[in-house]
Chains A and B, each alone.
Chain A
Amino acid sequence: MKKLSVIITILLSLSYFAQAQTSGYKPGDKAIDFNLKGTDGNFQSLASLSKGKGFIVIFTCNHCPFSQAYEQRIIALHKKYAPKGMPVVAINPNDSAREPEDSYDNMKKRAKKYKYPFVYLVDENQAIAKAYGAMRTPHVYVLDANRNVIYIGAIDDNFEDAKLVKEKYLENALDAFLSGKPILNPVTKAIGCGIKWKK
């Protein structure tokens, strides 16, 4: 029993340690830039994608029903906010060995089929998802032009039905930022598919 107790203590501390390691960014932190391959074969960095005001970085993927439920809303977000200086930058962090539907080839197919107007990048070694602290898809990080994190979280308050949305968490944050007002809810949460980390 004592042995078990020791094992549990180690286990609990390990889990806290793991959590501390992957806690990721909070609003106010400066996010790192990256150089990731897009579905068009070109490598992109935030610096290369800048449209002046900032970025809507969304960790998402092909297979996840939550990502699929939000796909059209993400397209609409880019169409609305890219002209205002805030493009969507979609990043797929999943290990395609664990989830073949999230392979680079399938990313290309999906981006083509649904005519993604934004870049869809592959985080092949998962370093960017880890640095940002992304845990699920979709998981949103809004950055200002200097890559300071200004919003983390959910897109809105109804994953199942876009027509029933009452609270547009992400758009409220973007609108506040673009009009120079404080963001009332800089952190929100949503259910999503756990990122498929390499084993």
Chain B
Amino acid sequence: MRILLFTLFYLGGQFITKAQELKVINKSDLVALINSKSDTVYVINFWATWCKPCVEELPVFEKINKDYTGQKVKIILISNDFKKQIKPKLKPFLLDKNIQSEVWWMSETDPNIWINLVEPNWEGSLPATLIFKGSENKRFFHEGSLTENTLNAIINKIAP
């Protein structure tokens, strides 16, 4: 019994760790990602826990992440939370909302050095979303929130 409990606890612990794993990235990581020539459709959402419309939009990305399981569609949520908020706010948030999409945290303190690399027309407001398929040079960028229908339509347009 004790072993069973231990195993359950261990597996549960594993699961939780996986759900809240946070990849810390810098400008080079971002450049590598957006220049990828992969045939995967990347859906990159720039957000933060302090941004209400971003938090309201997250379930849409979670739904897409689930709906496209097994397909070449990858969601990456890039958090722009303050560094001092990672432990008290961001990590508990990811756990509490049971976020399953991959979450990265942008460690650069100066957004001026990377915003234009994502999209020259982006003024820097959150949320913002970049959808692209590097192998075919297809891309779509939107500053502001997106609905599930719009996201699905864009992914289907870019995916084939």
Q: Which residues of A contact B (CB under 8 A)?
A: 4-5, 7-8, 11-12, 15, 19, 23, 64-65, 69, 99, 133, 135-136, 139, 153-154, 157-161, 164, 167, 169, 188-195
Q: Kindly state whether residue B63 has any CB partner on chain A within 8 Å.
A: no
List 19 extra interface pairs beyond A7-B153, A191-B48, A193-B126, CB under 8 A: A4-B153, A5-B157, A8-B154, A11-B154, A15-B142, A69-B82, A99-B52, A135-B124, A135-B143, A136-B124, A154-B111, A157-B110, A157-B112, A158-B110, A164-B109, A167-B110, A189-B112, A190-B124, A191-B46
Main secondary structure of the interface of B (DSSP, over half): mixed
Asked if B83 contacts A160 (CB within 8 A), the reply is yes
B residues contacting the other copy or chain, number (CB 8 A): 33
Residues of A close to B51: CB separation below 8 A: 193-194
Asked if B112 contacts A169 (CB within 8 A), the reply is yes
A153-B112, A154-B112 in contact; A192/B126 too (CB < 8 A)? yes
CB distance from B145 to the nearest CB of A (A): 8
Selecting from B27-35, B37-45, B115-123, the interface stretch reads: B115-123
Given the complex of chains A and B, what is the CA–CA distance between A69 and B83 in angstroms?
Answer: 13
Given the complex of chains A and B, what is the CA–CA distance between A136 and B83 in angstroms?
Answer: 21
Partner of A191 from the list B53, B115, B121, B142 (CB cut-off 8 Å) is: B115
User: What sequence of 0s and 1s flags, for each residue 51-65 of chain B, a beta carbon within 8 Å of any chain A beta carbon?
Assistant: 111000000000000
Partner of A189 from the list B111, B126, B142, B150 (CB cut-off 8 Å) is: B111
The 24 sampled A-B contact pairs (Cβ below 8 Å) are A4-B157, A7-B153, A8-B157, A11-B153, A11-B154, A15-B142, A135-B123, A135-B143, A136-B124, A154-B112, A157-B110, A157-B112, A159-B82, A160-B109, A161-B109, A189-B122, A189-B124, A190-B115, A190-B124, A191-B46, A191-B111, A191-B115, A191-B125, A192-B124
